[in-house]
Amino acid sequence: MFNRIFILLVFCLLMASKNVCAQKGVNDTIVVGSIVIGNDTLPHIWLHDAYCIEKGNKAFAKRRKEAREQREAFDRLRYNVYKVYPYAVAAGFIMHDIDSAMTMLHSKDAKQIYKQHKENELNKKFKGELENLTMSQGQVLVKLIARQTGKPCYQIIKDLKGGFNARIWQTVAILFDNNLKNNYEPLGEDEAMESIVLEIERRGHFEYK
């Protein structure tokens, strides 16, 4: 698990973001408006509205807590997407290679040998890294693989290893609060994830080796 510090920028001084037409005089005084009352000249300054929150206002405290939790959840999602996106990209390339090879290999034995070779190659390259992922990152990876390949992970395993293996891995996934049958819904429940992926793709912020 990751120990992360979430920095929330809540308020900034309003005057810091505006161009204030104040000038310094010879004595470093600030020129302001004034109003004359009788024989007295008093400074005249317009203040911005200020809102006082009643101490113990439970509704305000609840809204603030919810906003903080939503932001923290998005930050966690963003971190996890950045972490696993390169693996999803790799999966997309690999599945493309496998699909292309399957159309060129005609015998069942040749296809089986090729798939076994590919599986050994992937285990050697990624197994150690993937074992270090958290449960949340595993859930995100399943979604992103579906995005990159156009297939849920369950279907990919079924195509490569058969329905029996797919059911076994689905059972294991459920034990770890995951679901290999999940599809990717960029306009639905995965809208936030999609916005992060598009951000990564605009920046080119990932490596595939």
Give the model confidence (pLDDT) of 122-169 as tens digits. 777 777 777 788 889 999 999 999 999 999 999 988 888 889 988 998
Neighbours of 19 (CB within 10 A): 6
| Number of domains comprising the chain | 1
pLDDT for 188 equals 94
For the cut 80, the answer to whether the pLDDT of residue 71 exceeds it is yes
Q: Which domain holds residue 127?
A: 79-203
* 62 domain-assigned: no
* 109 domain-assigned: yes
* 125 domain-assigned: yes
* 177 domain-assigned: yes
* 14 domain-assigned: no
The answer to which of 32-41, 50-59, 62-71, 126-135 has the lowest mean pLDDT is 50-59
* 117 domain-assigned: yes
* 12 domain-assigned: no
pTM to 2 decimals? 0.65
Give pLDDT tens digits for 182-205. Answer: 999 999 999 999 999 999 988 875
* 10 domain-assigned: no
